[in-house]
Amino acid sequence: MPPQLFDPATATAVLKAAKFPRSGEPNDVALVSYAETAVASWIRRGQHDRLHARALADFLYKAAAKTYHCQAILRCLLKVLTALGNYTDAERALVTYLDLAEKGRVRAQKGSAFVDVDNAHTTVETAAEGLQMLVRYVRDAGKAKENAEILRGWIVIASAAEDSQTSLAADKETSVPEALGQNKKKILSTAWTAVGSTYILVARSALNNSARDADAESARLAFDNALTFDENNIEALYEYSLLLAEFYHDLDGAEDLARRARQIDASHLGLAHVLALILSAREKHLEALEVCRIAVQDTTGEQRRRMTLTEKRVVLQLRMTEIALIEVTEGAQAALEKVSDGLFAVYNELFTWDEDTVESQIHEASTSAMSFPQPSEKEETRRDIVPAVPVPAIAVTAHDSQERGEAIVDDDDDDEFHRDAAASPFSTSSSTSNSSGRKPVSNTEKQILDNIPQDLISNTSNIPAAILADMRITSKSRNLLSKKSLILPQSIRRRLSDASLRSRMSSKSSRQPITAASIIEKNKGGANRVLRNSLSADDTELKNISMQCLREVWLLVAGLFRRREKWNECAAAIGEATKLGGAKEDTFTERGFLMHAQGRTADAMEAFEAALTVSIDHVPAIIGISTVLLNLPDKEQPMARDRAFVLLETSTKLEGWDSSEAWILLGNIYESIGSEEHVRESWWRCVQLEETRPIRRWKVAWMWDTAQ
């Protein structure tokens, strides 16, 4: 193990020796140099030393109070806080850094000196890191787009500075060192990649199709610029291929980029997943299956245990795609047989750990991390709470419960299973579709949820023995996760519950800079505490992601059982998923599909209603309830058709813009009312989506799309 260059005793000595600079003086050189050296050492260690990172962050907070407008300290804080998952303070550090950079640029234009100012390329590099944090982890499209525009301005400045240096070197008949020039090009390439990633996020959250197309075009231009500076930029190639497949339906171009990138880095899991989905969209299922198998097999057991949570989730998603491909090529029964040794086994390797090790690590962390004074006031956060829109329900009586539309029933035999069976919401688990529209459930909504029949949740005796054995192992992991939350200090548990990571992610607060004065103000009081979001936050994140992944697995299994018409086993799998995070839109929707497959139309309607009560824009639930409404008796058709029309028209502009089922249903409604122009548009979009439709939604291949 390399020597630990950051030592708390040395850090304390450096802080004591440092003096706050006077007006016009630079910041303490020894303090800034030590901070940059310590962070560089931590990065070389692979950023896996979490306790080291927390102590380092504590030191950087104190160093910020000993310096004045020091961009280097803020730059270091951004790196460390992002790794720790403290995205609130990381964003504030980014905002303050960019504000100081802009002030320095303006003063330089006026001929005034501004001490401790980063050059343009360093500013671009830091802004790109911050933008990646906002896109991948905060996932706030508005904030990300705002910072992307700032970054684009700095890219122009950095590019102009590069051209100026090149021209100056040519005039003096000298040359810029090649290594330095290549490094600057990679910085600009990374920056343009971050801009492209931002516009993909913005496009996915666009409010209409024209805005979505414009954002996708901005992303495409950004990736073109990124590859101009560095044609071997793996991340640019990866996200560009996903962009072409998802938004442009250009499978040829997407496949070329993915294969080109895999020649550079064959170990990139995200690229393997994108390529597998592209091949499945071209109906090359066996080749796609081989890509998934090789990608998962290349990750050994020891390597899996050392993976980040993001990488673990990608491995599991690859295995789930493999199961979906097996269902298409060999049938649902073969896919079920693969679940035990192929899916649950991988999950257990990725997310099972030893309880004693966990407890000892938490105890060591709680006694070793550096601390700083307790702030006098709690941090304020704002949460957007969108009230549920009451929608008049249409009664579905028992006498029509046997009337089902052909679009819902999958009568294909296993041997004749076509690719649409694994992609249709009426034939696959709804867990592959995410929604950001969740909100607290009111008392009225709870009454709706309580009316959902509970007889479908049977005991685990309905699950085959092979899967049951693995289920017990995963249940042990789930119990351990619950125990871990019990051994955390009360203050940390309260902080995690009151201001959780997800609430911070969705906060719409304005840009709030960090200043030395604000840090000193926050540190009033004498009570010590461990660093915010520390210690148990890692375990909480692990718990949330591992339970969400297991939930997705059970919903996938439920879909397999349903297509095999094993109703009790399907219900038991839905029950297992419900235990992992409670009854939410995905479990209600899957239960609705099960009830409809059984001919229980009225119960299916209630389940879909419950799903929309939890998340009003959940696409599979909208498709389910619309299909039921459009198959009601003629006397109820006008009102049912109107409600389905409102749901589908809204959905195709928002979350359901890439759902061929939603477009075909909307087209059918337009046809029934004689709107030929809208019929052509709806069916054209449906055909376009069907021709390039992968085995699962494109979003599952985005490495940072963790469903929460």
Stretch 157-166: mean pLDDT: 72
Q: What pLDDT score was predicted for residue 418?
A: 37
Q: What is the dihedral of CA 629, 634, 639, 641, to 10 degrees?
A: 50
Q: Which two tokens stand for residue 269?
A: 């899991």
C-alpha closest to that of 346 among 319, 314, 307: 319
* Domain boundaries of the chain, sorted by first residue: 396-496+537-701
Overall CATH class of domain 396-496+537-701: mainly alpha
Per the DSSP assignment, residues forming a β-bridge with 372 are: 529
Stretch 19-34: mean pLDDT: 83
Q: What pLDDT score was predicted for residue 294?
A: 94
Alpha-carbon distances, residue 313 vs 121, 348, 350, 430, 681 (angstroms): 33, 12, 9, 18, 37
Q: Which helix (H) or strand (E) holds 634?
A: none
Rounded to whole angstroms, the Cα distance separating 200 from 515 reads 32
Q: Please give the share of the chain, as a percent, with pLDDT higher than 70.
A: 68
- When comparing pLDDT for 51 and 202, which is higher? 202
Q: Which of 137-141, 391-395, 470-474, 475-479 has the lowest mean pLDDT?
A: 391-395
Beta strand residue intervals within 392-490, DSSP E: none
Q: Which two tokens stand for residue 380?
A: 């304020």
The pTM for the full model equals 0.75
Identify the band that residue 11 occupies on the pLDDT scale cut at 50, 70 and 90.
confident
> pLDDT of 558-612, one tens digit each?
999 999 999 999 999 999 999 998 999 999 999 999 999 999 999 999 999 999 9
SS3 assignment for 230-285: CCCCHHHHHHHHHHHHHHCCCHHHHHHHHHHHHHHCCCCHHHHHHHHHHHHHCCCH
Residue 418 identity: H
